[in-house]
Structure 1
Amino acid sequence: MRIRVVNPNTTAAMTATIERSARAVAGPGTELDAVTSPEGPASIESHYDEALSVPGVLRRIAEGERDGVDGYVIACFGDPGLDAAREVAAGPVVGIAEAAMHAATLLGRGFSVVTTLGRTRGRAWDLAARYTPPGACRGVHACEIPVLDLDGDPAVEDRVAALADAALDRDGSDVVVLGCAGMAGLCARLTERLGVPVVDGVAAATVLVESLVTLGLRTSTRGEFAPPPPKAYRVSPGLSTMADAV
């Protein structure tokens, strides 16, 4: 089985963090590759960033289709381009927020999200409303650390741990969801420190895609997620069009 993990931003160091998390849980029969978006923002911290990241995500999906990839993980907590990717990929596509939130509902009665910047909290709430039952997400909390500052600062773990611990008490939640792919490396240590399940969406999405592929399941092409209607697309030089993927 071949799984591609797509980092929707253009920062290769973050792709390396994402890849370590995915490989740690991938099964022995899984060929996994983590790829960096060829275009777009260095990090995704706004609706503008998210919109500009989608063409790069779709390009990596289209390339994967040509290479025979069986399933995909979109490794950004905003799940950018998820619905569009499902229209063009033959196999399953899972976003890390989607996977993490679904997993959290299986581990406790309520979860708290710990994310990066406060301005991204609204997007996390929107996704929680889409993915989980009312009341499952008890709170979304921002540590106010920019995405690109998560790596290499020894103080980051302490700040995220303190925020998560306070969130558990304030929200009355049982589970912590890490709200950024760049936090993936903190998951095991935070679980030990907090004494509750801490869910990294990269790992959760990787295992979920593996499971769907093993079950022979893919996105339904009936209705909304059917391949996009054939038409002319005007794109930047070198950018794959959706017609390349279907």
Structure 2
Amino acid sequence: MTTNFLRRSTRILVLNPNSSASMTHGVEEALHGIDISEGVEIYTYTAPSESPASINDGDDVINSCNVVYQNVTDSGVLKQYDAVLVACYSVHPLVEALAGLQGSRGKLVVTGIFEASVLASLSLLVTPSMGGVSPRKWGIVTTGKFWEAHLTEGVNKFLGTSSQSVNAKFAGVQSTGMTAGDFHGGIDPAVIRQKLADATNRLLDQGNVDCVVMGCAGMAGLEEIIRAAAIERYGSEQGAQVLIMDGVKAGIGLLEQMVRNKRMFQA
């Protein structure tokens, strides 16, 4: 009698490039109920204390990249995994830097929650088939003002469009004025609710917004606030249909498929 091995697991590391363990815990809580294949294993990583506790601007992005890259290359920890999800909602240089490293079976498959959310949003929007019908839109609700320009530029570069061109499907970026750390004990929950609702309403003001992306890993678990704003704006039926996208969940789904595609199509 002979047996043949037909399946192998996919090991995904969700990498939090800031040093906040509470933020990593929030991501873990959001992932408990995610619908994934039985063969997918998910692990988490929190950056060393030298990394910023909250990534709030371009300097924090670069600093976190340097600290984490040094740590993971020195430790060799990534050799245990097939794929890595960089869980910072930014154009984070770790995505490109880690993609050149070796994983458990060849080069790592890497994406960020920013990139994953863009692809997922576009794939789920309904494109009108009739001329003259306004396209449905997606947009981002984020933390501080810095991210409005950073993420808008990031969307343009990722999609290969110029900053002068108009992307009819992109409703833009609206900020709450908070930091990522504020979502985990930094300020009064009532203030968080109001600021997040206000930013969501400014995004919905752009019209035809069918998908709202939570532009911060620290927002995990706060979908209900955005949903309430959508229902208040559109009514219960239409508001319930608005997609509230968590980039971490989008990233897990995308990486699972990317690993599968790599195995199918790579020699």
Instruction: Quickly name the TM-score band, shorter chain normalised.
Output: 0.7 to 0.9
Q: Distance in 2 between matches of 1:140 and 1:87?
A: 30
Root mean square deviation, CA, Å: 2.4
Identify which of structures 1 and 2 has the higher relative contact order when contacts are C-alpha pairs closer than 8 Å and 6+ apart. Answer: 1
Conserved in 2, the CA contact under 8 Å of 1:102 and 1:131?
no
Conserved in 2, the CA contact under 8 Å of 1:7 and 1:75?
yes
Mapping 1:106-185, distance limit 5 Å:
106-108=123-125, 109-132=136-159, 134-152=167-185, 153-155=188-190, 156-185=192-221
Q: Distance in 1 between matches of 2:256 and 2:229?
A: 29
Q: Distance in 2 between matches of 1:205 and 1:41?
A: 23
Report % sequence identity: 31
Conserved in 1, the CA contact under 8 Å of 2:109 and 2:259?
yes
Cα distance 1:13–1:197, how it changes in 2: closer, same or farther (>3 A)?
same
Residue of structure 2 in register with 1:3 after alignment: 12
Shift in Å, 1:78: 0.9
Three-state SS of the structure 2 residue aligned to 1:3 is strand
Q: Distance in 1 between matches of 2:122 and 2:189?
A: 30
Cα deviation per residue 1:106-164 (whole Å; 9 max; x = unaligned)?
Answer: 22232121000011211111211123363332211001012111124422234313321
2:89 aligned with 1:77: yes
2:62 aligned with 1:51: yes
Conserved in 2, the CA contact under 8 Å of 1:6 and 1:57?
no
Mapping 1:55-70, distance limit 5 Å:
55-59=66-70, 61-62=72-73, 63-66=76-79, 68-70=80-82
Give the 4+ runs in structure 1 shifted more than 4 A.
Answer: none
Unmatched 5+ residue regions in structure 1?
221-246
Three-state SS of the structure 2 residue aligned to 1:97 is helix
Three-state SS of the structure 2 residue aligned to 1:87 is coil
Q: Distance in 1 between matches of 2:254 and 2:151?
A: 20
Q: Distance in 1 between matches of 2:179 and 2:89?
A: 14
Unmatched 5+ residue regions in structure 2?
1-9, 126-135, 162-166, 231-238
Which is greater in Rg? Answer: 2
Residue of structure 2 in register with 1:242 after alignment: none
Q: Distance in 2 between matches of 1:217 and 1:100?
A: 23
Three-state SS of the structure 2 residue aligned to 1:112 is strand
Aligned AA (1:212): M
Q: Distance in 2 between matches of 1:209 and 1:7?
A: 16
Q: TM-score, normalised by structure 1?
A: 0.80
